[in-house]
Amino acid sequence: MRQSGRPTIKDLASRAGVSKTAVSFAFNSPERISKETYQKIMDIAKELGYVPDPVARGLARRKTQCIGILLPQSIAYVFQNPYITELLRGVGEACEKENYSILVLSPLEGIFTHAVYNAVVDGVLILGAAGDSDVHTVCRQRGLPYVTIDAGFRDDCVNIGIDDEKAAYELAKLLLEAGHRRICVCMLQPLSDTLEASGSSETIRNRCKGIERAMDEYGVDKSQVEYMEIGTSCDSSLDAAHSLLSREKPPTGILCMADVQAYGFYHAVQELGLSIPRDLSIVTFDNLPQSNLLHPKPSAVNQPGFQKGCRAAEELFKLLSAQESQSTMLDCQILNIGSVAPPST
């Protein structure tokens, strides 16, 4: 028969004069058949170019050896943020140990959760979904185990993250303590075309809380701090930086939600012939390896991106094997390295 070109288990079986079962055993539990039959089967398999169909196998054993990673926006956008790459590296590290592959899922047709419906995976990692997102519902409908990353801690699902409130508090304090009052907080603007994701994530909410707590502590009026959504790309943050710094009274302190935003400011400062921290103080989240190139290295919350991804995947694997799993708040430190100084004006 062999209609679609590729040999099937049946072809191989009849060609080798054995049953389908024997062939199946040869590929899955060789110890259950005799050495000779095994050899014969494998020889003919090679000759025929037979290899078991992963999809059919997946259906039969109810396992695909893949986990999905659900991104909040399009791939082209999200991967402009090197922090995401760090996460992915961590996930990859854990997956390779378990012989799993990673399926990158992004919002299809603008719907955040859409990709989950059709994903051929055993479980899912979810990035930065709001607590009230319906992604939880979707996963449960499909019976998919899932772990969230940077999505806030709640009782009914496993989350890996840091103490964002505290981290943001410390960062804000760094600026306030140095005397800054004209402060701009750079938010992670969601893409406008993925409406569903535009509800601010739990992480962002927590960070804002932390910032406000610091301000209260220093008796600073909330109106003095400006919140600006500048997204997570070098380009958008460069633009934002230029527009901010060209003001008559530009901010003296910048609090970024991501290293990649800080890059824009470093770049702009350079282009304008200014200098950090003399003319502008800046603090940020992430502290990615590549930020070592910046001079001075930005004061930052040291986010363990790699570790986060790794840990999240590990917890997911526990769920997949029906083990207990629980949320983890990873440690992070504040590194005050040299991008903060008292305001000059």
Q: List interacting residues with a copy of itself (CB under 8 A).
A: 4-6, 49-51, 53-59, 62, 64-66, 68, 74-76, 79-80, 82, 85, 88-93, 95-96, 99, 101-106, 108-109, 115, 117-120, 140-143, 234-235, 263, 266-267, 270, 289-290, 292-295, 306
Nearer CB in complex with a copy of itself: 68/304: 68
Nearer CB in complex with a copy of itself: 70/176: 70
- Residue 247 interface partner, choices DNA, a copy of itself, none, CB cut-off 5-8 Å depending on type: none
CA angle 198, 306, 282 (to 5 degrees): 65
Single out the residue of 78, 10, 69 nearest to residue 44, CA to CA: 10
Which residues have C-beta within 8 Å of that of residue 314, sequence separation ≥ 6?
94
53 interacts with DNA by CB under 7 A: yes
CB-CB neighbours of 282 under 10 Å: 28
Nearer CB in complex with DNA: 16/102: 16
Nearer CB in complex with a copy of itself: 75/329: 75
Binding part of the chain for DNA, among 17-25, 166-174, 191-199, 296-304 by CB under 7 A, reads: 17-25
- Through-space distance between the first and last CA atoms of the chain, rounded to whole angstroms: 83
Return d(Cα 344, Cα 204) in angstroms, integer.
Answer: 30
Among 15, 48, 52, 267, binds DNA (CB under 7 A): 52
- Residue 295 interface partner, choices DNA, a copy of itself, none, CB cut-off 5-8 Å depending on type: a copy of itself
6 interacts with DNA by CB under 7 A: yes
20 interacts with DNA by CB under 7 A: yes
Return d(Cα 147, Cα 126) in angstroms, integer.
Answer: 6
Q: Taking a C-beta distance cutoff of 8 angstroms, is the pair 124, 139 a contact? A: yes
Single out the residue of 134, 112, 12, 18 nearest to residue 68, CA to CA: 112
Q: Taking a C-beta distance cutoff of 8 angstroms, is the pair 309, 149 a contact? A: yes
- Eight-class DSSP state of 127: E
Considering only residues 282 through 311, tell me which ones interact with DNA, judged by CB under 7 A.
none
Nearer CB in complex with a copy of itself: 62/247: 62
